[in-house]
Amino acid sequence: MASQGLTDEEVSAVCKEGHPMTQDYMMQQTTLRVKDPARSLNFYTGILGMTLLQKIDFPAMSFTLYFLGYEDKANIPEEKLERTAWTFSRHGLIELLHNWGAQKDKDLKYHHGNKAPLGFGHIGISVPNLAEACSYFEKCGVTFVKKAYAGKTKNLAFIQDPDGYWIEILNPKNIFLDLYCVLLRSKDKNKRIVNS
pLDDT, tens digit, 9 for 90 and up, residues 62-86: 999 999 999 999 999 999 999 999 9
Confidence band of 194 (pLDDT split at 50, 70, 90): very low
Strand-strand pairing, 51-58 and 29-33: unpaired
Residue range 170-180: average pLDDT?
76
Phi first, then psi, for residue 50 (nearest 5°) are: -75, 165
Residue range 88-116: average pLDDT?
96
Find out whether 95 is annotated in a ligand binding site. yes
pLDDT reported for residue 61 = 98
pLDDT exceeds cutoff 90 at 118: yes
pLDDT reported for residue 131 = 94
Find out whether 29 is annotated in a ligand binding site. yes
Find out whether 168 is annotated in a ligand binding site. yes
pLDDT, tens digit, 9 for 90 and up, residues 6-64: 999 999 999 999 999 999 999 999 999 999 999 999 999 999 999 999 999 999 999 99
Indicate which residue of 78, 79, 138, 168 is catalytic. Answer: 168
The conformational region for residue 113 under phi > 0 = left, psi -120 to 50 = alpha, else beta, is left
pTM: 0.86
Could you give the 3-state DSSP secondary structure of residue 84?
helix
Shortest CA distance to 126 belongs to which of 166, 173, 170? 170
Query: What is the DSSP secondary-structure string of 143-185?
Result: EEEE-TT-SS--SEEEEE-TT--EEEEE-HHHHHHHHHHHHHH
Neighbours of 67 (CB within 10 A): 24
Instruction: Yes or no: say if 94 and 69 are a contact pair by the CB < 8 Å rule.
Output: yes
CATH top-level class for 27-106?
A: alpha beta
- Burial code of 5-42, b = ≥16 C-beta within 10 A, e = fewer? eeeeeeeeeeeeeeeeeeeeeeeebeebbbbbbeebbe
Report the alpha-carbon distance of residue 174 to residue 128 in Å, rounded: 10
Could you give the 3-state DSSP secondary structure of residue 139?
helix
Q: Does domain 122-191 have CATH number 2.60.40.10?
A: no
Report the alpha-carbon distance of residue 149 to residue 152 in Å, rounded: 8
Ranges for all domains in the chain classified under CATH 3.10.180.10: 27-106, 122-191
Confidence band of 195 (pLDDT split at 50, 70, 90): very low
Find out whether 79 is annotated in a ligand binding site. no
Concerning whether 168 is annotated as a catalytic residue, the answer is yes
Strand-strand pairing, 63-69 and 166-170: unpaired
